[in-house]
Amino acid sequence: MIQPRDEEPTEVTQWLRQLGAAAPQVSSQLFELLYADLKRVARGHLRREAAGHTLSATGLAHEAWFRMAQQDRTPWQSRSHFLAVASTMMRRILVNHEAARRAAKRDVELVSVTLSGLEALVATPDCDLIAVHDALLAFEAVDARAAKVVELRFFGGLENEEVAEALGISLATVKRDWTVAKAWLQRELADE
């Protein structure tokens, strides 16, 4: 469970609920309390990125914070709820970043690849980010809760217990959803 060591969860939750209209000092204090957790989630997302990625965990955490702090209509329920939404925001930031990078590469000269040369190609981790994102969107139409479990575990790096708390479901349900989702996504991604 994600809890600050020096603050009661109820106080953090109260601050989260005031975040959109909060005074700058409350926002700053809240950022300090949640910063380590935001960076941990960001590191979880960036683990699957290529080594030369231009976004750092710090940059991703800050970008997500700035976008989320502006949301004054979101009724934050708890620290876990905030981190679950932060994970979603980070995934969107990374997908947009990858789409922009790919768009910039479209003017590059194309190279022919034969079937015999396919084994020599090594896919970098970020090459599949958009495919995983698209597959996850398709899976969301099939099972929205299980898709959220995948997002929080795979992209956000949250543990099963944290996912269960964030989604308000049992640990057994998280494990079951994770197993089903992995099988579905592996099949879906193998077809591409």
**What pLDDT is stored for residue 144 in this prediction?**
92
pLDDT digits (tens, 9 = 90+) for 52-89: 677 888 999 999 988 887 777 777 788 888 888 899 89
Position 187 pLDDT exceeds 80: yes
How many CB atoms lie under 10 A from the CB of residue 169? Answer: 16
Instruction: Please state the separation of Cα 97 from the chain's center in Å.
Output: 13
Cβ neighbours for 77, distance < 8 A, ≥ 6 positions apart:
13
Identify the burial level of 119 via C-beta atoms within 10 angstroms of its C-beta, where 0-12 means exposed, 13-18 middle and 19 or more buried. exposed
Tokens at 32, concatenated? 């300090």
- Average confidence score pLDDT of the chain: 76
**27, 69 in Cβ contact below 8 A?**
yes
User: Where residue 105 falls among pLDDT bands split at 50, 70, 90?
Assistant: low
> Between 181 and 113, whose confidence is greater?
181
pLDDT digits (tens, 9 = 90+) for 121-176: 333 444 467 788 888 888 899 999 999 998 888 777 788 998 998 889 999 999 99
Domain assignments of the chain as residue spans, ordered by start: 9-107+122-190
**What pLDDT is stored for residue 152 in this prediction?**
86
**What pLDDT is stored for residue 18 in this prediction?**
65
User: Where residue 9 falls among pLDDT bands split at 50, 70, 90?
Assistant: low
